[in-house]
Structure 1
Amino acid sequence: MSNLVQTVLGAVGPELTARLASLFGESTGSVSKGLSAAAPALLAGALQQSSTSGGADRVLGLVSQAVTGGNPLDRLPALLGDEASRTSLLGQGRGLADGLLGGSAGPVIDSLANFAGLKGGAAAQLLSLAAPLVLGAIGKALGPSPTASGLQSLLADQRASILGALPPGLGSLFGLGGATQAARGAATATAAAGQSGFAKILPWLIAAAIVLALIFALRSCGQRTEAPVTPPAEPAVPAPAPVTPPPAATVAPQTLTLPGGATISVAPGSIGYGVATFLASNEPAPKTFVFDNLNYDTASNALTPESRPTVETLAAILKAYPNVQARVVGYTDNQGDPAANKTLSDARAATVKREMVALGIAADRIETAGMGEADPVADNATEEGRAKNRRTELVIVRK
């Protein structure tokens, strides 16, 4: 099944992105970044609505409106090339976006503008353009005989990729949690259920223990006291010599050949290995990777010298895949002032981008975001957990 986010973004290639940037009076990078957020935001709206059969029917109605006269995904260059067609597309798209987002349309436009550095009017136009494309992608995926249940199944299957492509914080507008939050909620519910079940049987366990103790005491009182019998001594058996486990095997680096002939030496399990094999596969974007061997000076955004090979490897990979769009996201633990943590995480993500740009990656290919202490992946009550939460992530937004 095709990735809906990737289908929309793939329809707007570099040439059309440059044309839109000229039309909207914005930079190509801002338009590309805004579109990468607008598509999953609209799909999140569809996902939220399709949670009920009535909402799924409404989304199907919007799909029907979008593809009347032909699927916009199949004729986008022509629609954008003619002023009358473009005006009609954007006018229709405004209504479709409102239909998908409802009362969230205004906040989504504001979020797009802040996230991509767009003017409010350009963000609204970009959302209007993306709406028919998103509905066209849904229409293609559903085929010629769409049904409400088919739409619900489609969007449920795409949930992880939609939420993964949303910019940080935007999912809260739709009441949708990320994969980490969902897993955490499930774990909490399971623990609560276990505690509830144990509480029900605890009184019975205590009563049984008391009865057993009384029986044992009564039997002990009625028995004769006899001299203890000392068993004959057994010959001593020497204890076995301690066995020293073999040292853990070190994973040897592998040499991978990138498109264009360049090679990199990376260890399986490292971020370089993960990103390179992902980009060489047919697995759809977006996908998130956590940096390893990437450290900063304490309370600083300055990278340690040992971190440079990791950044250099990723820059080499991105050079070999010039169409890839990425996002660097910084996180901290919950120690200190939340506002200062947010500022620090922003600065750390920006540092990684700056290093990659210095290594030859175009600045408009890399977005950055700082989330501070949000979305912890471990318990902040322990030093080990806090160390895991102080992380930097690389999200491959588009392949």
Structure 2
Amino acid sequence: MHQNLLEEVETYFTGNTVSQTSVVVGESEEGVRKALGKITPLVLSSFMGRAERPGGPEVLWTLTHEAAESGVLPNLLTADTLHRRSDLMRALLGEAYGATVARIATATAIKPSSVETLLAIVAQAVLHRLAGYAALHDMNPEELFSFLKSQRSQVLEAMLPGSSVSPFQAEPDAARPARPQEVASTKLEPSAGTWAPVGGGHTYSAPTAAPVEVPVPPASRWAWVLALVLLGAGVEYLVMRNQSGTGRVSPAALGLTSAVAAPVENNAAGSKLSAESILPTAPGGHYDAALDTYIYDPGRPVTLTMIDGTSQTVGVNSTENRLYTFLASPTLQVDPVNRTKGWINFDRVNFDARKATLTDESRQQLRNVASILKSFPNAHVKIGGYTDSTGHWMANMKLSEERANAAMSELVAMGIGVGRLEAKGYGGKYGVASNATPLGRSLNRRISIRVTQK
């Protein structure tokens, strides 16, 4: 019964459909493909987030059946369908809708208005596919919800920076129809982006797209594109509906106005991340003698997208990126035997000297980690505290324990269940550098995190 929903949605967007859609929205085919690769996992994660809220399975059930009813031609050929899907995505993304649209537009060099149209089209396609799957397998709301949840790992993997799982790849030139017209790409401001301090490191903000006044495509132009996208799906649904005998479901209250905001951006070119890229052998950075602290180099900026749609821009070497990648990658598993493996150092969590008091800047990274853990509700982690070897070993053990507990308590205060967390202090044991130099001692004073259950 298992299917990959991302791949199923791909079958709706053939080369011809992408070409025609690019004409309608006034964008290049490459830009449309890139946008679809970002929008599809976003839409799926938004539906997952809504379905996990109280009454969510019934909401999902109602939406899919509504999509199936409106997805059968000729009822599909109306502006109302896309308007309702656009309103749905606005409700799901909440206040972050505008920022999400802007991020995708910047990353794919297409207009924000085009992103909005594509969001609506993909939302309809995803709901229509879910309806067909539910009809084929005679599912009830809870079973459909379970199927959607089973797609979590594929969706998260598609959101990983540098992911190569996006199915929307360019076809050979011979397989594509000629472009009827050339479309200018979105212009970027001269700025190459800005860096801003976050905790002990920095985050990167991408350049913003210059605003362009673009007329909204008439409903008659994009309605037939949606028809092309779902023509096969409509026929497929009719066949499966007749096989299963599924009847119409009366609408339920959807309750979307207070949905969790879900911005997205997971832009980074390259191949799929490997274990080596997640866990580098040596930290980059420098020792700050004035602060007596090691300042880690966060690396090039990447943007991580949580399952609820919220996003955070961090460095590729950051704790957040390494933790997120470990949790989201099916090939990376917890070692049940060697418990010294899998530790990830916090690179921006620091304490007052010889105290267990977190610095104000440290809470930003802990907030990021809490957000990641909320995206993986089955994950359990252990916090480890370490000191250098100066002073009495017993005092160091006590201090490291207090610091580990302080970090854990902060995560609990941020909404992570205490049953998912544990903390332990190791004192001066397991040093990563020599204690003979200030540099080495600064590296040994650290807080680390290890996933104990995925």
TM-score range, shorter chain: 0.3 to 0.5
Higher helix share: 1
TM-score, scaled to structure 1? 0.42
Q: Which has the higher contact order (CA 8 A, sep 6+)?
A: 2
TM-score, scaled to structure 2? 0.38
